[in-house]
Structure 1
């Protein structure tokens, strides 16, 4: 019985050490992944940090944007598109043109 007890104790101790080694390996691997992500310096999420401007039209309708190069500069007064409306009265259009000339 003494030899059987020694064998059982040896196997139990071996399992404890194997589990401890696996735990240390898992911790080291997770630290490697975390530190590696921080050292890369880039992420999978991209965003554009650029100034934005709101474009408004004084009439309701369908907006058709002109094709401009990406990243191109736009100056005040440049046509960026056109608004097409079905039922806009001539008086409204002439009033808008007068307002634009006065501005």
Structure 2
């Protein structure tokens, strides 16, 4: 996988994955982070999920895969697209947090 991302492992919480535009696919990036993090769980995914122009089939498959990670917090950036953000809000209630440049978050 060729993707640039940063991750950290928050004590007692799990991995926080920071991605730019997620061109390799957000699910692929999370799998890679889990591998590098010695199997730690995904706590949060921050950044672009690169799904703004995706077909419904890809959105559905990505959502099903994302649910399996059981994330606590998703901060989906602009290239995620409004359709997938709506799916997150519907399928993973209380998980979606608005993501804006210059914001400060405490995890």
Bin of the TM-score, shorter chain as denominator length: under 0.3
Structure in which a larger fraction of residues adopt helix: 1
Normalised by the length of structure 2, the TM-score is 0.24
Normalised by the length of structure 1, the TM-score is 0.25
Structure in which a larger fraction of residues adopt strand: 2
CA radius of gyration, larger in: 1
